[in-house]
Every structure is written in structure tokens, then in C-alpha cells.
Amino acid sequence: MLLPLLLRPPLCHAQASGLFTGCVRMLHCGAPQGLRFQAEKFLQRRRPHRLHARGRSRRSQNQEEEWRSRNKTVLTYIAAAGVGMIGLAYAAVPLYRLYCQATGLGGTAVAGHDTEQVATMTPVKERVIKVTFNADTHASMQWNFRPQQTEIFVVPGETALAFYRAKNPTDKPIIGISTYNVVPFDAGQYFNKIQCFCFEEQRLNPHEEVDMPVFFYIDPEFDSDPRMARVDTITLSYTFFEAKEGQKLPLPGYSYN
């Protein structure tokens, strides 16, 4: 690589464009110059000149080495910083998720409620909450879907049962799949469903009518949360969509479990 540079020394004196290329050229040009000086040193055999030449070549060699080592350390630092930035970018995803779960920012669900607590929880009888029910269907969904009770009074820590009814008035079987929503959003994290009919395909034959139960409870910690102190009504809203044959829908919240 040094050969073309050796053969074209005049290029060293050419105006370099850009600081970096100039620096590189200086580095590369420094080498043949140093070599040339060494060659001269051996050919001329003039002591004072030789000493002088050696001193000069050594100084320039030292300078070159200094520059080289300094450049190497700077480059190493820059490379380390770059790798560090990329690593931070990857680490930021789980770290941010942990931060959100710890502070509850952005309405993220509190890290997984304990499913065993159903057996051990005690109802908080003083706090009565009204749960209202809402039922919707997508515009192209032809089922008749409605709740069988408009509201129900529950207390936190007590399991409750509620019913919806769905009827398929058409002459062909329709497969539906539903999702739900809870308002207020903050209360949604305390609303735990033990079993329901959502997120799985439900098939109704022509002119068939079924009862769809929802078995749920409100976490007893609802009563001790200061943000929930003024919440008296929770609305549970289900929406049914029509599912195509063989369609696989991703289960929501799967990645958070």
C-alpha cells in the first residue's frame, strides 16, 4: 500500500481537501519521507549530516509514533462510545418498560396480578362499586349482542358474575371474536377477569342464541389506591367483530405477561 505513495511523493505537497484526508495524507506521507531520510542517511555517510539526519528522522519518527498512538487511542474511545450508544439503545427497551411499570406512567398495567389471590382475598364490604355493562358490535357484524343486566353492584375482593346475550339472526353461521374496554382507564388495572368470552372465536349457528358469562372481580387493593378514591362507577364494554375463517389474532398483552 505504501508503494504507490513512495512512487508519488509530489502528492504529499498537494492541497488536501478536508482535515481528515489531510491528516491521513500526512500520516502516509510521513512514512516515505522517513524512509527516504533513512536511505539518505545510509548513502551519504556524512557524520554531522548523518547525526543531524538521524536526529531529525528520529524526531519525526517519534512525532509520527506519537500521532499514531494518539490517533489510535482517540479512535478507540470513539469506537467504544459508538458501541456503548448502540448497547444503550438496545437496553433502553426493557429498562423503559421496567420504569413504566414502577411508576405507572402511561397507564401501563401493574406487573402481573397474582392469580392465587382469588382464593385468599377478603371482600372490602364498605366500598360498593357500580359496574355498568355496555355491548357493541362492529358495523358489519350482524349479531344481536346486548348485556342482560345494565348494572351490578360489587365490592372489591368479591367475585361476580354477569351475562351477555348474543343472537345470530341470519341464516348462516357467523364466527365472532370480541375485545373489551374498561373505563376509567386507571381502574382497568384492578379489573381482573377470571373467565370470559373474549379473544377467542365464538361460533354461532343460524338463529342461535347463547348466554355469555363474564366472571370477574375487582382487586381489593382498589380501595387503598388514592387515585381511585373518587371512582364509583366502572364501565365494562365489549365489542364483537366478525372473524374470518382460520384467522389467527394475536392475544393482546401477551408480551407483558
Binding part of the chain for another protein, among 39-47, 56-64, 74-82, 116-124 by CB under 8 A, reads 116-124
Q: Check binding of 195 to another protein (CB under 8 A).
A: yes
194 binds another protein (CB under 8 A): yes
Instruction: Considering the complex, state which of residue 82 and residue 206 has its C-beta at the smaller distance from another protein.
Output: 206
Is the CB of 55 or the CB of 252 nearer to another protein? 252
> Which residues within the stretch 128-167 sit at the binding site for another protein (CB under 8 A)?
148-149, 151-155, 158-161, 163
Stretch that binds another protein, among 20-28, 61-69, 91-99, 102-110 (CB under 8 A): 102-110
Q: Phi and psi at residue 145, in whole multiples of 5°? A: -130, 120
* CA gap 149, 41 in Å, rounded: 104
* Interacting residue with another protein among 11, 211, 224, 232 (CB under 8 A): 211
- 150 DSSP assignment: S
3-class SS at 251?
coil
Among 204, 228, 236, 243, binds another protein (CB under 8 A): 204
Applying CB under 8 A, among 60, 101, 134, 202 the residue interacting with another protein is 202
Is residue 231 at the binding interface for another protein, with CB under 8 A as the rule?
no
Which stretch in 37-45, 53-61, 72-80, 248-256 sits in contact with another protein by CB under 8 A?
248-256
| 203 part of the interface to another protein, by CB under 8 A | yes
**Distances from the Cα of 239 to the Cαs of 23, 144, 166, 218, 251, in angstroms?**
67, 11, 12, 21, 15
What are all long-range contacts of 143-146, with beta carbons under 8 Å and residues at least 24 apart? Answer: 143/167, 143/168, 143/169, 143/174, 143/176, 143/204, 143/240, 144/169, 145/238, 145/240
CA–CA separation, 18 and 15 (whole Å): 9
Binding residue for another protein, selected from 33, 60, 101, 108, defined by CB under 8 A = 108
Binding of another protein by 183 (CB under 8 A): yes
CA-nearest of 197, 198, 237, 200 to 213 is: 197
Instruction: Report the b/e string of 16-28 with b at 16+ CB within 10 A.
Output: beeeeeeeebeeb
Binding to another protein (CB under 8 A): which residues in 74-93? Answer: none
Q: Residue 160 in contact with residue 185, Cβ under 8 Å?
A: no
Cell of 37: 531520510
Residues that bind another protein (CB under 8 A): 105-109, 115, 118-119, 121, 123, 125, 148-149, 151-155, 158-161, 163, 179-183, 185-186, 188, 192-200, 202-205, 208, 210-213, 215, 217, 251-254, 256-257
